[in-house]
Chains A and B, each alone.
Chain A
C-alpha cells in the first residue's frame, strides 16, 4: 500500500482504484468476526464450557483465598476481614530449621523418585511390548497394575509388616543368611529407599499404560521395513520404539517435574516416626503437623503458595529446556 502522506500526489484513477480496493478487502469488524465465528463453531464452545466453568470455580475462584498467606487469618472474620501481616508467615517458615530440613528432604526424595521412579514405567512398557505370550502378558500386567488400586493405608500396612523385625519377610530372608534383624522403619537411613521403592511398586505399573498406548500408536510399517532390512529386536526397540514414544516421555517428564514437590505425603505420614523425621519429614507433612496445632491455615497457605511457585518455576524451566533441545514441549 502507498505511503499515506503521499496519497495526495496520486492521480484520480489511482485514488479511485485504491478506494475500491480498500472497500473490497475491508475486513469485517472484530465483533462481527467473533460473532460469525461463534455462529459457525458454537458446538465446539459448548463442549468447552464445562471445563471453563470447572476451571473458574475450582481453580480460579480459590485463588482469591491465597491472600491469607499474607494475613493473620481468622475463619470468623473471613478472608476479607482478616488483617494483613505482610511476609510474616514466610519469615516464620524460613526461620524454622525443621522447615528447611523438610524442604531439603522434599527435594531429595523427589530427586530419588524421579531418577529411579521415572524410567521404571517406560522399561515396563517396553518389556510388555516385547512379550508375545498373551496370557502371560495379561497376567503380568494385572499384577503390576494392582497395587495402584489398593488404598495407601493398606499398602503402608503391607510395608510395615514386610519390614517388621520379628515377622517380616525381609528380616526372615536376611535371617537365612545369618544377618541380625533390623528395625527398618525406625532407621532414618532406611526411610528413603523404602519410601521410594514402595511408591515405585505402587505406581510404576499403572503409569506404564500411557507408554503402552504411545507404543500402540507407532505405525507397523516401520517395524515391517526394519524386519526386511534385517534389524534385530533390540535394534527395533532402540531405533524405532524409543524414538517414537520420545515426545510422550518428554511430556510426562515435564508434568512429573511440575509435580515434584507434591511428594505423596499420605504415604509418608503412614510410614514415618519421630525417629525417622530426620530423613522423612517433607514440606507437606511439616505443614500437616504445624497446621494441625490450632489450625494455622495462614501459615499452611504460605507454604502451599511457596510450593506452587517452586513447581511453576520447575515446570517452566523443564518446558523451555525441552523446547530448545528436543522441540517437544507442553506449550
Chain B
C-alpha cells in the first residue's frame, strides 16, 4: 500500500480497486511468461490511434494479439476522425466530442497533450512512471534531457513518445562518376565545392553537349539553406526547417536573425546567380530528385541516406556508370565540418492516458511492457518466428521479409510493428534493409565527429504561448519572404540588413526570444 501513500492528492481519485489489482498482479503465482502479465484477468482498454499510414488501431495486428496474450490487456479501437487523413483534425474532433477512450495515441499528439493535459484532459505521467514503469524510467535515466523536452509548461509530461533510433538523417551526395569524368576530387571545403559545382555547370559532365546540368538541387527548397552552414551560419536547430537553435552561450536564438546569416546568405545568393543552385528550386517540388537524377541532370544534393542511396540500383540500367555517393560535409569557411541535420531523438507521436481512463496504473504498466526486452522486440520486429528469428542473440528478419517486393517498414506496419505507439525504436530494424552504399556512407559520417546538438523545443505556458502566437507566424513569414527575395536577387542582403533587423524587432522578435528563453530555462534548467 506504499503506492497509495506516496501519491499526490490528485492521484487519489484513482480507485483503490486499481491499486489492489496492481498489487495482486505483482503477487500472482509465477507461470510461464507471467512476468509480463499486467493483470490477472483479461482487461480491455480503448484506444484512439490516428496516424498517416492508418486511421485507426487494427485489433487483428499479430503484434497486438501477442501483446494481449503476454500482458492480458487487449486494446479496442476507438479512433475518432477516421474519414480524415489529418491527425491534428482527428485529435481535435476527439477532444471536442468529450468522450475520450482510455488511451489516446498516434501522430502529432505532443502539442495537444501538452496543451490540454494541464487543463485536465490527460493524466500527468511523472509519478505513475516513477512508481509503476521501471523500464520507461530506466530509459529516461539513461537519456538525460529527453523527459524535460516532452514536458508541458506545468513541469509534468503527458505522453510516452515514439523514440527513434539511429543518428543520421541527411547527408551530402555527389555524382562520383561526374567527378571522375572531369578529373575532380570530392570537395573538402567550401571553395572546392564551389569549383566542383562550377565545373558541373560548365563542363558538360553528362556529355550530351547541352549546358543543362543542375549542379546543386533538392526536392525541398528549404535545403538551399543548408548551404548556409558552409559559411558558419545555421539554417535550423532541429529536423524541422527554420527552427530556433541554442547558441554557444546557451541562449535560444533564431538562425535568420544572426550576423553570420548576413554574409552566408549573400554567398548563397551569389551561387544562385552563378547558376550553381537549381534555378527552379522553389517550384520544382518533391519529385525533383527523381526527375533530375533519372534525366542525368543533377550533380550534388543533400538528402536522406536510405532513400538517396537507392538510386544507384534503380538507375544502373538507365544511365551508364551512374554513381551517386555520400561525401563528407565540406569544411566551412571557418574550418568546421558539420552535418546540421540529424534524426530527432523524440517524436511528437506516441500515446497518452486520458482523464476518463479508470485504470491508469494498469495502463502505465502496459505502456512499460513495450520498453521491456520482449516488448521492444515485438514493437520493432513483429512476432518472433513469424517475421524474424533470434540468430546469435540478434533479431534477424526472415529472408521472405527482406526479399519481399514491399519495403520492410510497410510490412511491419501491417503486422502492427513500428506503428506510432510509445516505443523505443531499435536501429537493427532499419540496418538490415539499408543498402550497402548507405551503410558505407553512415560509417564514413560516423568516423567523423559531425553531429551537433539539437534544439528539442520548449513548452510555453499560456501567457508565453499568446506572445508566441501573436508574433511568431508573421515574423516567420517575413523572414522567409526576405530570404527568398534575396536568394532570387531582388534586394541585397548586405545592404538591407539593418532595416531587416529593425523590422524584425518592430514585429516582436525580441519578445519571442524572451518567451523562448524563459520557457527554455524553466524546462531544461
Asked whether A274 lies within 8 Å of B480 as measured between CB atoms, the reply is yes
Asked whether B119 lies within 8 Å of A295 as measured between CB atoms, the reply is no
Query: Is B307 an interface position by the 8 A CB rule?
Result: no
Asked whether B88 lies within 8 Å of A295 as measured between CB atoms, the reply is yes
List residues of chain A with CB within 8 A of the CB of B282: 185-186, 273, 275
Query: Is B283 an interface position by the 8 A CB rule?
Result: yes
B-facing residues in A162-213 (Cβ within 8 Å): 164-166, 183, 185-186
Q: Tell me how many residues of B have a C-beta within 8 Å of chain A.
A: 33
- Given contacts A76-B120, A160-B283, A183-B488, whether A294 and B469 have CB atoms under 8 Å apart is yes
Query: Is B258 an interface position by the 8 A CB rule?
Result: no
List residues of chain A with CB within 8 A of the CB of B119: 74, 76-77
For the complex, give the distance between the alpha carbons of A281 and B473 in Å. Answer: 14
Asked whether A183 lies within 8 Å of B280 as measured between CB atoms, the reply is yes
- Given contacts A76-B95, A165-B280, A295-B92, whether A98 and B465 have CB atoms under 8 Å apart is no
Q: Tell me how many residues of A have a C-beta within 8 Å of chain B.
A: 29
A-facing residues in B454-487 (Cβ within 8 Å): 465, 469-470, 472-474, 477-478, 480-481, 483-485
Give A161 Cβ to nearest chain B Cβ, in Å: 9
Asked whether A78 lies within 8 Å of B96 as measured between CB atoms, the reply is yes
Query: Is B279 an interface position by the 8 A CB rule?
Result: yes
> Which of B116, B465, B474 is A75 in contact with, Cβ under 8 Å?
B116
A-facing residues in B204-247 (Cβ within 8 Å): 212
Give B335 Cβ to nearest chain A Cβ, in Å: 32
Give A221 Cβ to nearest chain B Cβ, in Å: 54
A93-117, CB under 8 A of B: which get 1 and which 0? 0001110000000000000000000
A-facing residues in B271-300 (Cβ within 8 Å): 279-280, 282-283, 285
For the complex, give the distance between the alpha carbons of A96 and B475 in Å. Answer: 11
List residues of chain A with CB within 8 A of the CB of B485: 274-275
Query: Is A225 an interface position by the 8 A CB rule?
Result: no
List residues of chain B with CB within 8 A of the CB of A274: 477, 480-481, 483-485
Query: Is A92 an interface position by the 8 A CB rule?
Result: yes
For the complex, give the distance between the alpha carbons of A296 and B283 in Å. Answer: 28
Query: Is A145 an interface position by the 8 A CB rule?
Result: no
List residues of chain B with CB within 8 A of the CB of A185: 282-283
Asked whether B484 lies within 8 Å of A293 as measured between CB atoms, the reply is no
> Which of A76, A165, A289, A299 is B116 in contact with, Cβ under 8 Å?
A76
Asked whether B477 lies within 8 Å of A165 as measured between CB atoms, the reply is no
Asked whether A75 lies within 8 Å of B95 as measured between CB atoms, the reply is yes
For the complex, give the distance between the alpha carbons of A275 and B489 in Å. Answer: 11
B90-103, CB under 8 A of A: which get 1 and which 0? 00100110100000
List residues of chain A with CB within 8 A of the CB of B95: 75-76
List residues of chain A with CB within 8 A of the CB of B279: 165-166, 183
Number of A-B contacts (CB under 8 A): 74
For the complex, give the distance between the alpha carbons of A278 and B480 in Å. Answer: 12
Asked whether A273 lies within 8 Å of B283 as measured between CB atoms, the reply is yes
Query: Is B188 an interface position by the 8 A CB rule?
Result: no
Give A266 Cβ to nearest chain B Cβ, in Å: 15
Asked whether A164 lies within 8 Å of B283 as measured between CB atoms, the reply is yes
For the complex, give the distance between the alpha carbons of A92 and B466 in Å. Answer: 11
A-facing residues in B99-124 (Cβ within 8 Å): 111, 115-116, 119-121
For the complex, give the distance between the alpha carbons of A77 and B98 in Å. Answer: 9
List residues of chain A with CB within 8 A of the CB of B285: 160
List residues of chain A with CB within 8 A of the CB of B92: 75, 295
Query: Is A290 an interface position by the 8 A CB rule?
Result: yes
Give B394 Cβ to nearest chain A Cβ, in Å: 43
Interface centre among A160, A164, A273, A299 (most CB of B within 10 A): A273
> Which of A275, A293, A296 is B481 in contact with, Cβ under 8 Å?
A275
List residues of chain A with CB within 8 A of the CB of B469: 293-294, 296, 299
Give A80 Cβ to nearest chain B Cβ, in Å: 12
Query: Is A277 an interface position by the 8 A CB rule?
Result: yes
Give B121 Cβ to nearest chain A Cβ, in Å: 5
For the complex, give the distance between the alpha carbons of A3 and B121 in Å. Answer: 72
Asked whether A92 lies within 8 Å of B121 as measured between CB atoms, the reply is no
For the complex, give the distance between the alpha carbons of A74 and B481 in Å. Answer: 31
Give A326 Cβ to nearest chain B Cβ, in Å: 43
List residues of chain B with CB within 8 A of the CB of A78: 96, 98
List residues of chain B with CB within 8 A of the CB of A275: 282, 481, 484-485, 488, 490
Asked whether A166 lies within 8 Å of B473 as measured between CB atoms, the reply is no
Asked whether B473 lies within 8 Å of A289 as measured between CB atoms, the reply is yes
List residues of chain B with CB within 8 A of the CB of A75: 92, 95-96, 116
- Given contacts A75-B95, A76-B119, whether A277 and B477 have CB atoms under 8 Å apart is yes
Asked whether A277 lies within 8 Å of B481 as measured between CB atoms, the reply is yes
Asked whether B472 lies within 8 Å of A293 as measured between CB atoms, the reply is yes
B-facing residues in A226-285 (Cβ within 8 Å): 273-275, 277-278, 281
For the complex, give the distance between the alpha carbons of A186 and B279 in Å. Answer: 11
For the complex, give the distance between the alpha carbons of A166 and B120 in Å. Answer: 56
B115-154, CB under 8 A of A: which get 1 and which 0? 1100111000000000000000000000000000000000
Interface centre among B111, B121, B470 (most CB of A within 10 A): B470
Of all chain A residues, the one with the shortest Cβ separation from B481 is A274
List residues of chain A with CB within 8 A of the CB of B470: 92
Of all chain B residues, the one with the shortest Cβ separation from A296 is B469
Give A276 Cβ to nearest chain B Cβ, in Å: 9
Asked whether B116 lies within 8 Å of A96 as measured between CB atoms, the reply is no
Give A187 Cβ to nearest chain B Cβ, in Å: 8
A-facing residues in B182-220 (Cβ within 8 Å): 212
For the complex, give the distance between the alpha carbons of A278 and B282 in Å. Answer: 16
For the complex, give the distance between the alpha carbons of A74 and B121 in Å. Answer: 11
Asked whether A98 lies within 8 Å of B477 as measured between CB atoms, the reply is yes
For the complex, give the distance between the alpha carbons of A76 and B97 in Å. Answer: 9
Asked whether B121 lies within 8 Å of A76 as measured between CB atoms, the reply is yes
For the complex, give the distance between the alpha carbons of A290 and B485 in Å. Answer: 21
List residues of chain B with CB within 8 A of the CB of A273: 282-283, 484
For the complex, give the distance between the alpha carbons of A236 and B92 in Å. Answer: 59
Of all chain A residues, the one with the shortest Cβ separation from B98 is A78
Asked whether A290 lies within 8 Å of B473 as measured between CB atoms, the reply is yes
- Given contacts A76-B95, A76-B116, whether A164 and B473 have CB atoms under 8 Å apart is no
For the complex, give the distance between the alpha carbons of A183 and B480 in Å. Answer: 18
Of all chain A residues, the one with the shortest Cβ separation from B221 is A273
List residues of chain B with CB within 8 A of the CB of A165: 279-280
List residues of chain A with CB within 8 A of the CB of B96: 75, 78
For the complex, give the distance between the alpha carbons of A273 and B221 in Å. Answer: 11
- Given contacts A166-B280, A186-B282, whether A294 and B488 have CB atoms under 8 Å apart is no
Asked whether A98 lies within 8 Å of B488 as measured between CB atoms, the reply is no
B-facing residues in A116-150 (Cβ within 8 Å): none
List residues of chain B with CB within 8 A of the CB of A96: 474
Give A301 Cβ to nearest chain B Cβ, in Å: 14
Q: Report, nearest first, the 8 A-B pairs whose CB atoms are least far apart.
A: A275-B484, A274-B480, A76-B116, A274-B484, A274-B481, A75-B95, A76-B121, A290-B473
Pick 15 A–B contacts, CB within 8 A, sort by A: A76-B119, A92-B470, A96-B474, A165-B280, A183-B279, A185-B283, A273-B484, A274-B477, A274-B480, A275-B481, A275-B488, A277-B481, A293-B472, A294-B465, A295-B92
Can you add 17 more A-B contacts, CB < 8 Å, to A275-B282, A289-B477, A295-B92?
A74-B115, A75-B96, A76-B120, A98-B477, A160-B285, A165-B279, A166-B212, A185-B282, A186-B282, A273-B282, A274-B481, A275-B488, A281-B477, A290-B474, A293-B469, A294-B469, A295-B88
